[in-house]
């Protein structure tokens, strides 16, 4: 997905300098995310050491501040100036957080105005060092989290936020030097409203950001996936203003707390690079509630080193294009070219809602019309297959309440053309062309045993399935089965998706044995499927993610970010086939 940051020129906007009339500057960021980390050292040498250990630098250096941090400083010394400058000397842009240990109401009342103005003068000292120095400033982070001193007061928070921005602007500090970040927690404490309630307004905010931590079992209730940690906040912020860039301003996963921190880091970078509005992250590299560090000065987490060197991770310093006159926005993604070439035969996806309505797309393309029809009852297990060997996949159902399979030979509302009894209670239907005869049949996966029964004929109408042509074991109890022609030989075989780990396993023969290929794809909780998305004769994996309502397609059976993403809609079941 092509993603860009645009500094658009908007003349005459309230509280924006007259320089905003300048021509817009576009910043490209295709399939990329900028990295960064917080340091308890605040010395350029920490960033230099990190660069030596990893072979690359990071775009952001995270810092924490309060207006009283210069009290007691002697002569011309400025703690604020020096902290920010050490980040800059480390060839990173400061992502600074300003907090005050008092209520939002007190801050909004003006009690701290003079102190905030004094602190702004110390920021000016840093900026006056020249050389293009700049910073991102997040005001009163995590204000939607009740225990925060200024938390759970959205009305006064917005006034306080606007007040600080206005104090800086009154001193002539504009968007060419400071960008303002709105930085809520990824979830809001009960009784404290919603993230949107705290938004100070687009004329005061340049960057949307959030805090999101995976505390694991040490502090939290258990290990969380990247998706469960960040996705809801990204969705909430995008809904507030879909034109603004998003940064994960504070994020980390605990080490030795029930999960693999290194893999979580890799997944985080990969996931955020695939989010169209997300442009960066800043890791909380300070051991506090848990062991968050991925870089200690003498050790670097393998996953962090992999992630910052990934092809989708960017480094830029200085961020000159981010600090041009005008507001900072994210350009809409460039429309993706549908994966199926003209005149090719490709598979597509259908979604089934809880009421039994089917929503079928005949091609993988966002503009493809959706065909809708009803078939089945709530609770039926839905699938598709080419039952009459005409090259078109049509609906099928397994009704647990009576143990029968119901098949139709057209994509339309109506009664079943074929029905027969299926397996044992708890069995799952597997659909495939197991012998390359051009016809799909219904076979059995028995989860309690990890056992597969392949049947090359449809059941007798009104009767049951015949004897299995193949009977073998594959996978572990609890694995989710799927079917595809993974090697392009015309014969479908069985794959398994281990939702607890996100690993895909499949074999290229209908027999017991170890997997012929295994790789990581998707997030825990994704729904697996396979299809020939690009018309090359080989089925490859895709996942439907209920939390985003998107389908993520891969054009090769290999790990990595999705090659094509399409919004499907909110469904309880999905299936893939040639419609």
- Per-domain residue ranges of the chain: 4-331, 348-577
Count Cβ atoms below 10 Å from residue 283 Cβ, excluding itself. Answer: 28
Task: Specify the CATH architecture of the domain 348-577.
Answer: 6 Propeller (2.120)
pLDDT at 134: 98
User: What is the dihedral sign for C-alpha 545, 550, 553, 558?
Assistant: negative
Say if residue 550 is exposed, middle or buried (CB neighbours under 10 Å; 0-12, 13-18, 19+). middle
Of residues 15 and 505, more confidence is placed in: 505
If phi over 0 gives left and psi between -120 and 50 gives alpha, with beta otherwise, what is residue 91? left
Q: Reply yes or no: is the peptide bond before residue 318 cis, omega within 30 of 0.
A: yes
Q: Are the C-beta atoms of 524 and 480 separated by less than 8 Å?
A: no
pLDDT at 5: 38
Superfamily (CATH) of domain 4-331? Glycosidases (3.20.20.80)
Region of poorest pLDDT, from 234-248, 290-304, 525-539, 549-563? 549-563
Determine the 3-state secondary structure of 304 from DSSP.
Answer: helix
Residue 146 clears pLDDT 70, i.e. is over it: yes
- CA–CA separation, 554 vs 480, rounded Å? 18
Residue 21 clears pLDDT 60, i.e. is over it: no
CA distance from start to end of the chain: 27
Determine the 3-state secondary structure of 471 from DSSP.
Answer: strand
pLDDT at 26: 53
Count Cβ atoms below 10 Å from residue 432 Cβ, excluding itself. Answer: 22
- CA–CA separation, 365 vs 528, rounded Å? 19
Rg (CA), the chain: 28
Of residues 488 and 463, more confidence is placed in: 488
Tokens of 576: 């893939």
pTM of structure: 0.66
The gap from C-alpha 535 to its chain's centroid, in whole angstroms, comes to: 28
Q: What is the mean pLDDT of the chain?
A: 90
Q: What is the pLDDT of residues 175-200, one digit of tens each?
A: 999 999 999 999 999 999 999 999 99
pLDDT at 300: 97
Of the candidates 489, 480, 491, the one whose C-alpha atom is nearest the C-alpha of residue 541 is 480
Of the candidates 461, 467, 466, the one whose C-alpha atom is nearest the C-alpha of residue 405 is 461
| 235-240 CB contacts, 8 Å cutoff, 24+ apart | 235/548, 236/194, 236/195, 236/196, 237/182, 237/195, 237/208, 237/209, 237/210, 237/277, 238/208, 238/277, 239/196, 240/195, 240/196, 240/199, 240/208
- What's the mean pLDDT in 302-306? 96
């Amino acid at each position: 997905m092509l993603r860009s940051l645009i500094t658009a020129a908007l003349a005459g906007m309230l509280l924006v300098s007259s320089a905003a009339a300048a021509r817009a500057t576009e910043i490209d960021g295709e399939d990329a995310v900028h990295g960064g980390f917080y340091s308890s050292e605040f010395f350029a040498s920490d960033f230099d050491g990190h660069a030596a250990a990893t072979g690359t630098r990071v775009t952001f250096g995270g810092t924490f501040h309060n207006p009283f941090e210069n009290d007691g400083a002697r002569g011309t010394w400025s703690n604020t100036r020096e902290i920010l400058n050490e980040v800059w000397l480390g060839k990173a842009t400061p992502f600074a957080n300003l907090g005050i240990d008092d209520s939002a109401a007190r801050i909004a009342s003006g009690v701290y105005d003079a102190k905030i103005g004094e602190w702004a003068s110390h920021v000016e000292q840093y900026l006056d060092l020249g050389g293009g120095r700049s910073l991102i400033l997040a005001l009163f982070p995590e204000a939607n989290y009740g225990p925060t001193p200024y938390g759970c007061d959205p009305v006064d928070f917005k006034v306080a936020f606007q007040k600080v921005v206005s104090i800086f602007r009154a001193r002539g500090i504009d968007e060419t030097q400071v960008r303002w970040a709105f930085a809520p927690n990824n979830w809001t404490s009960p009784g404290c409203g919603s993230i949107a309630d705290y938004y100070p307004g687009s004329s005061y905010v340049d960057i949307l950001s959030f805090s999101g931590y995976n505390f694991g079992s040490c502090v939290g209730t258990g290990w969380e996936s990247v998706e469960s940690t960040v996705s809801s906040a990204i969705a909430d912020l995008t809904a507030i203003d879909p034109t603004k860039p998003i940064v994960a301003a504070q994020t980390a996963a605990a080490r030795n707390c029930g999960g693999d921190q290194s893999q979580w880091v890799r997944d985080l970078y990969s996931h955020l690079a695939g989010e169209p509005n997300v442009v960066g992250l800043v890791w909380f590299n300070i051991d506090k509630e848990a062991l968050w560090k991925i870089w200690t000065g003498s050790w670097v987490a393998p996953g962090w080193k992999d992630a910052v060197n990934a092809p989708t991770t960017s480094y830029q310093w200085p961020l000159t294009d981010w600090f041009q006159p005008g507001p900072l926005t994210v350009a809409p993604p460039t429309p993706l070219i549908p994966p199926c070439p003209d005149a090719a035969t490709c598979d597509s996806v259908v979604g089934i809602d809880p009421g039994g309505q089917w929503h079928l797309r005949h091609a993988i393309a966002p503009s493809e019309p959706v065909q809708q029809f009803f078939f089945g009852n709530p609770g039926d297990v839905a699938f598709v297959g080419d039952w009459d060997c005409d090259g078109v996949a049509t609906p099928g159902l397994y009704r647990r309440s009576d143990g029968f399979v119901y098949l139709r030979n057209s994509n339309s509302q109506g009664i079943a053309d074929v029905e027969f009894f299926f397996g044992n209670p708890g069995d799952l239907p597997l659909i495939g062309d197991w012998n390359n005869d051009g016809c799909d049949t219904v076979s059995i996966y028995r989860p309690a045993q990890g056992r597969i029964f392949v049947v090359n004929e449809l059941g007798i109408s009104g009767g049951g399935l015949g004897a299995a042509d193949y009977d073998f074991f594959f996978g572990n109890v609890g694995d989710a089965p799927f079917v595809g022609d993974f090697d392009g030989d015309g014969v479908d075989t069985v794959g398994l998706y281990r939702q607890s780990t996100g690993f895909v396993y499949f074999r290229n023969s209908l027999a017991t044995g170890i997997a012929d290929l295994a790789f990581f794809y998707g997030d825990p909780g994704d729904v697996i499927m396979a299809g020939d998305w690009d018309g090359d004769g080989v089925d490859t994996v895709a996942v439907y993610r209920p939390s985003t309502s998107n389908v993520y397609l891969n054009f090769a059976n290999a790990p990595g970010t999705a090659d094509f993403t399409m919004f499907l809609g909110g469904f309880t079941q999905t299936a893939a086939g040639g419609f």
